[in-house]
Amino acid sequence: MKNNLSISPNEIDVLQNCQRQTSDKSVYLKVTCILMLSGGLSAEDVPKFLNIHISTVYRYCTFYFTAGLTSLRASLLSGFLTTGYDGYWSNMSGVALSLLRAELKRTIYTDVQSVCTWIKDRFGVPYTPAGVVDVLNRIGFTYKKTRKVTCERNIEKQQIFAEEMLNIFNHQDEKTVIYYADGVHPAHNSRSTYAWIEKEEDLEQPAVSGRDRVNINGLVNAKDVTDVIAVDSERINAQSAKDMYQLALGKKPTAEKVMIISDNAKYDKNTELIEWLKGTIITQIFLPPYSPNLNLIERLGRFLRKKVIDTEFYRTKELFRKALNKFFKNIEKYLSELETLPALNFRLANSQSISFWV
């Protein structure tokens, strides 16, 4: 077989699309083999590049013309691309699974039945909802809530801030301490959460009727997740911020510079607080507006809710407050879990990721 494989431009486009999208090695070899032959390479040359036997080249070519050419549809050569050894959990080829992944990333599906319908319409493969759930889990998708973000986030400002912080972290020395700051106001009440619960059973969580809150102003060290300072205050204001900063100075007596990254809360820009800061080694750095995604301490807040708030019931506000303070006092107890958080790796408003300090 020498330079005599001729296929149409449309077929080449389909094959190239499958080649780009597939994660299945067998499918990739089949498609690439046909493309090489159609591009002028001989059957003797193809094995040198694909590390396959020449008999496999002839088999792929014969199979393409007996199965693939007659079943060309949309962007899937269903007959030709069937690998012959699909896993027990999937009746779709590697290419079909890749196209399903692309569809799920492009389109929001809020129920599994719609995914069943799309698969059947696109590939002619019938699935039960339970079967589709299994497929989706195995290709890396899970059913969870979407996360609301403000439309007022500024991508350019976040990018500029990220680049400035990258420079700061790259030049941080042992005499400089960097903290992330934020205030949290957890409500004295249980929150419903997801948990593994026996089928046909309900897990009831007691709740109180009030909406009292505990106000905590906190700092977390960018390099040490167990270096946490938390101030339980009647109100989070300039005074509670000053108290928190003083604790930081007392905790780091050998530091020559303390940098505190926070949002744009009014109390952080209080005139008296700023005047007091001028006589200290503290430097304030403000996040771009609407950028909680760039604040490391937000992750600690979510961890706090998971460990203290979502899974326990506290009959009185005082018991709730004690549980919160106990969490911060014994933060090292959670070291192994906190270390699994992607520390200084942040996702920007444009969905790009950046690591400040490695």
What sections of the chain are H helices per DSSP? 9-21, 25-38, 46-50, 54-63, 78-81, 94-106, 112-123, 129-138, 155-170, 238-251, 271-277, 297-304, 317-329, 335-338
Residues 167 and 295 in one domain: yes
Residues 233 and 348 in one domain: yes
Q: What is the model's pLDDT at position 146?
A: 76
Q: Assess contact for 355 and 345: CB atoms under 8 A.
A: yes
What is the CATH classification number for the domain harbouring 309? 3.30.420.10
In the chain, the number of structural domains is 3
Question: What domain range includes position 324?
Answer: 155-191+207-355
d(CA 216, CA 235): 8
Residues 171 and 269 in one domain: yes
Q: What is the model's pLDDT at position 86?
A: 40
Residues 72 and 175 in one domain: no
Q: What is the model's pLDDT at position 96?
A: 83
Report if residue 53 sits inside a domain: yes
Residues 217 and 75 in one domain: no
Q: What is the model's pLDDT at position 74?
A: 36
Q: What is the model's pLDDT at position 90?
A: 54
d(CA 245, CA 231): 10
Residues 103 and 81 in one domain: no
Report if residue 202 sits inside a domain: no
Residues 110 and 219 in one domain: no
Q: Model pTM greater than 0.85?
A: no
Residues 263 and 120 in one domain: no
Q: Please, what sign has the CA dihedral across residues 245, 249, 252, 255?
A: positive
Q: What is the model's pLDDT at position 93?
A: 76
Residues 37 and 178 in one domain: no
| Average pLDDT, consecutive stretches of 10 residues, N- to C-terminus, the chain (358 residues) | 67 83 80 89 88 84 63 46 47 81 89 90 85 87 77 79 86 92 85 75 78 89 89 90 94 94 91 93 92 86 86 87 92 83 64 57
Residues 173 and 262 in one domain: yes
State which of 85, 101, 135 marks the end of a domain. 85
Residues 135 and 252 in one domain: no
**307-312 contacts, C-beta under 8 A, 24 or more apart:** 307/334, 309/186, 309/190, 309/191, 310/190, 310/191, 310/193, 311/193, 311/195, 312/190
